Structure formats: structure tokens, C-alpha cells
Amino acid sequence: MKVLNYIAISLLLAGTGVLLHYSGGFQLPTASRDQVAQREDKRPQKPLQRLVQHAREEGRSEVVLPSVIDLQTGVTSMAQILSEYSILRIKVKDTHVSVADGDIKTWYKLEVLEEILRQNEVDDRPLPENIPAQLLPLLDSEVLHVQTGGVTSINGIRVIQPPPVNQYTLKRGQDYLIASYLECGGKLLFPAAGVDGVFAISDSILTPLAKRDREFVREVEWVYGNHLDRLRTDMRLRRGREK
């Protein structure tokens, strides 16, 4: 089974000030796959410290980090989701912003309201050590999701890192449908198709967070009419045929 690893590789492009955020849809060596599990330094990274110090010296109260570009995962069809991934209905329970590896990370604690489709295999690796303690422990119905970007305060300076281009922000109180890849015993969630596989839910209607001209978004509209009940029924029928 091909494993989706949602690896954030931030490369500072020479002379551009633009960060490259890569989401890979292929298996990498273990050391690379576990980058997300590296221990978070309790102090801001030195380049970020210097930016904050310069802002203080110049009398500024805010620092904006470079923009981030988010590449696609390579998952563009429902057939790929059905064969390898999960589909979950979730809601945000809590969030926490941290600084790790020179980036700002926004962590989400999500409540799984419904498991519409579950991938065949989920690894049993332990959760990363850099998870904010404020989000632990996790209940049986809870999972974690992390994104690059967010807003925090360091030494009294407001530091902003925009979310990746084509990325999304999950809002409290809103139900979402997410095509997902689960790791760490099902407790760590990565979006299988990036923003293309994320839909807000209102009265069973699916509203894509991505542009409607995206291939996966168009397929959900064509096949299911952007209706959660139709998608849910199709998943149940498929599970019944597999038994």
C-alpha cells in the first residue's frame, strides 16, 4: 500500500524570501517520515529570535514571516481515497500555536463525529513528542492535525506566519468532511488530498474549501451532488460488497 506522508519541507529559496512547503504522496525513508516527530525546541529558533530582536530594536510590534507555497499531494480522485485512505466527519475542539524548527505550527484537536470510511491499515507508531501538552490527553474520539502557519507572541512581539497557499483554516463549531490519512494508531490526521479533500458541512450539503475547478472537487459534485447522505450511502454499499 502506498503511504501518504504529509511532510512539510520548508526550503528558503535563495534571494526570494519565499518558503516552499511540500506535501509528498510517496514513501520516504523513516528519518524523513519522522521529521514531524522531532522534539520541539522550547525556545524559538535562532533566525526567528533575530527577527524578533530586530523588531524590538526598531520599535515594531509585529513580524510577518515569509509566504509559504503548498504543493499538491498527488491524490486527485475518489478511487485513490477509496483504496488507501479514510473519510471522516470532524469538528474542531481545541487549537494551540507553537514554534518548532523555525516555523509556527497550528495544532488542532479534532473530534471525530463519524468515520465514514477507514483505511485498511493504520500504523502503531507513537505520537510525536512535540505535541503541545495543552492538547493532551486524547479521548478515544479525538485526533490531532497540524499545519504550518499561525499567529503567536514571542518576547512581546506578535509573529505571523501565513498558512500555506491553497491551505485552509478550520473553524470552531463547524462540521467538516476530510479525506484523511491516519497515522499513530489513528490519532494523527493528515489531509489526503490537501485542501481539495476538505468540505464544510451544513445541513448535509458539502461546500468545498478548494476552488470548484479542482479535479477531486468536481468529482464529488458530479458523483454525489455535494450531498453527504449520498456519499455516506455509497460508502456503506461499498463496505457491504467487500464483506
Task: Output DSSP code: residue 101.
Answer: T
Q: Within a 10 A sphere around the Cβ of 121, how many other Cβ atoms? A: 10
Q: What are phi and psi of 218, to 5 degrees?
A: -65, -40
Decide if 194 contacts 70 (C-beta within 8 A).
yes
| Among 218, 14, 198, residue whose Cα is nearest residue 88 | 198
Which DSSP helix (H) or strand (E) runs through 81? helix 78-84
Which DSSP helix (H) or strand (E) runs through 176? strand 175-183
pLDDT tens-digit series, residues 101-134:
678 899 999 999 999 999 999 999 999 999 999 9
Rounded to the nearest integer, the mean pLDDT of the chain is 82
pLDDT of residue 212: 94
pLDDT confidence bin for 65, thresholds 50/70/90: confident
Tell me the sheet residues that pair with 146.
107
User: What span, in angstroms and rounded, lies between the C-alpha atoms of 97 and 149?
Assistant: 9
Per the model's pLDDT, the better-predicted residue between 77 and 167 turns out to be 77
pTM score, whole prediction = 0.78
User: What span, in angstroms and rounded, lies between the C-alpha atoms of 51 and 224?
Assistant: 48
Residue 138 has pLDDT above 90, yes or no: yes
| Among 105, 104, 118, 174, residue whose Cα is nearest residue 144 | 105
pLDDT tens-digit series, residues 174-220:
999 999 999 999 999 999 999 999 999 999 999 999 999 999 999 99
- 35-56 as b/e: b if 16+ CB within 10 A: ebbeeeeeebeeebeebbeebe
